[in-house]
Structure 1
């Protein structure tokens, strides 16, 4: 699913995320949605990450599942998703933000992210996750996307605070 990334390319899938990051949307069984992130785990507040409801999980070898089940993708209709990334204002205190809104309502909000670099671009891929053929679907599957856009602002106003990108 689409998302943003910064730093070196190839951040994820078990690769070291010390100088890169990525945030992308993902789904689980029965359409349960989440944010799947690769952030430098040694710089994150893991305790706070795990408190993001309804369920969050940190895999030491792979990525971070944030807010798993906080929304569901529509099987027979459209799901409007907005992902906002606000970079931290300093390197010593992780205060970057990631916010996910679904159909106009915030479903995931976390404001203690350490992003090691600026935003470099977007990544867009759709696949059944996993490193083996066990994850593959036995039949053709389709996903449709529309009205996709990216906007970079110099100033982000949030419900909780304003931050300069």
Structure 2
């Protein structure tokens, strides 16, 4: 069995990780207001915590299942900013990043190597924890199934 700490050593995410020529990541974040946004770490990102885009005018509905798809296409050749990310919810395109240069070198290490799936409330302090209107902590619950990593497709 592989130690999780060994797998996650080279994951590009958060302020403690430097972008390397082969390092990148694309993530979704469920917002506290029920919304959805991306976090994208790439060679030309503007912020310390990656670039983000929020799905405007969208909120997940409690008690309702949603079909979420994220498509990631890496740039090739390395100098071309032709990578992209698209995010659909229930077959509606909500977020799109284009002209991305995920990697600065085309090597096996810069290819998609793994899918890491986890959920957490973000941040590194208690203010990120879910709370009731009165400020007390609450328990949130989400169900996930049919998670798949598939080859390239057109939508």
Q: Same fold (TM over 0.5)?
A: yes
CA distance in 2, matches of 1:38, 1:142: 27
Residue 106 (structure 1) aligned with residue 93 (structure 2): yes
Contact kept in structure 2, 1:34 and 1:70, CA below 8 Å: no
Q: Note the aligned Cα RMSD (angstroms).
A: 2.2
TM-score by length of 2: 0.75
Q: Which runs of 5+ in 1 are unaligned?
A: 1-7, 45-57, 159-165
What does 1:44-123 align with in structure 2 at a 5 Å threshold? 44=45, 60-69=47-56, 71-116=58-103, 117-123=110-116
TM-score by length of 1: 0.71
Aligned length: 134
Match of 1:13 in 2: 14
Contact kept in structure 2, 1:33 and 1:70, CA below 8 Å: no
CA distance in 1, matches of 2:57, 2:123: 22
Structure with larger RCO (C-alpha < 8 A, sep 6+): 1
Considering fraction of residues, name the structure with more strand.
Answer: 1
CA distance in 2, matches of 1:73, 1:38: 24
